[in-house]
């Protein structure tokens, strides 16, 4: 098991961090609000720690669990501290009423442009509701990214959480996964309800 760093201390940081802690990973929370980060680390338990926001994360995998509007700013704040890291972008660049997308490219590609050149961005987990992830049941997780090695490391982490990983391709597929996030929201609002998860049936 490994050390997983999470930037942010909100709903998704809680769901991912708790699930990772339960499956034997050591979680490090890096939040701009230190008291909130410490409270989340205490809640996660299992040896979870708090890192310094903006300093080099302990884990090779760094999950960026920040709202889209702050995600580039957060990554820019870390700057070279993220050199060589695998950055997992979970964000959905929704408009105010979550009826459309506002990124001209994708949140993942914006993050890749803002991160050090040696960092590898992998899009993942944006198609799973936090409260569904928190149930701890097996789910499908779609990923996309340009580095096969980084995707393999993220897949191994997700599989350790009982999340079946399905690879959608390079980072150019990130807009598709962000549209899938919008699809999830639309389905939830128009009859399926919010206890829903997207998946693929492999025949």
Ligand X SMILES: NC(=O)c1ccc[n+]([C@@H]2O[C@H](COP(=O)([O-])OP(=O)(O)OC[C@H]3O[C@@H](n4cnc5c(N)ncnc54)[C@H](OP(=O)(O)O)[C@@H]3O)[C@@H](O)[C@H]2O)c1
Binding positions for ligand X, rule: CB under 6 A: 8-13, 31-33, 36, 65-68, 70, 73-74, 90-92, 126, 128-130
Residue nearest to ligand X (CB): 10
Question: Toward ligand X, which CB reaches closer, 89 or 203?
Answer: 89
Question: Closest separation between CB of residue 12 and ligand X, Å?
Answer: 3
Question: Closest separation between CB of residue 203 and ligand X, Å?
Answer: 27
CB-side neighbour CA atoms (13 Å) of 45: 3
Question: Closest separation between CB of residue 194 and ligand X, Å?
Answer: 9
Question: Toward ligand X, which CB reaches closer, 1 or 200?
Answer: 200
Question: Toward ligand X, which CB reaches closer, 1 or 163?
Answer: 163
Question: Closest separation between CB of residue 196 and ligand X, Å?
Answer: 11
Question: Toward ligand X, which CB reaches closer, 73 or 159?
Answer: 73
171, 146 Cβ separation under 8 angstroms: yes
Question: Toward ligand X, which CB reaches closer, 1 or 186?
Answer: 186
Question: Closest separation between CB of residue 84 and ligand X, Å?
Answer: 21
């Amino acid at each position: 098991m490994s050390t997983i760093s999470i930037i942010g201390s909100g709903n998704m940081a809680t769901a991912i961090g708790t699930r990772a802690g339960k499956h034997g990973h050591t979680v490090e929370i890096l939040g701009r609000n230190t008291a909130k980060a410490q409270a989340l680390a205490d809640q996660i338990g299992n040896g979870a720690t708090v890192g310094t926001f903006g300093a080099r994360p302990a884990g090779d995998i760094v999950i960026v669990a920040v709202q889209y509007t702050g995600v580039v700013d957060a990554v820019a704040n870390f700057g070279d501290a993220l050199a060589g890291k695998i950055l997992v972008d979970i964000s959905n660049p929704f408009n105010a009423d979550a009826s459309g997308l506002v990124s001209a490219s994708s949140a993942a590609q914006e993050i890749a442009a803002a991160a050090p050149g040696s960092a590898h961005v992998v899009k993942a987990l944006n198609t799973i509701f936090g409260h569904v992830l928190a149930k701890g049941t097996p789910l499908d997780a779609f990923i996309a990214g340009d580095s096969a090695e980084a995707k393999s490391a993220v897949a191994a982490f997700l599989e350790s959480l009982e999340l079946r990983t399905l690879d959608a391709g390079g980072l150019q597929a990130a807009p598709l996964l962000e549209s899938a996030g919008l699809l999830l929201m639309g389905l939830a609002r128009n009859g399926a309800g919010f206890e829903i998860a997207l998946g693929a049936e492999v025949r």
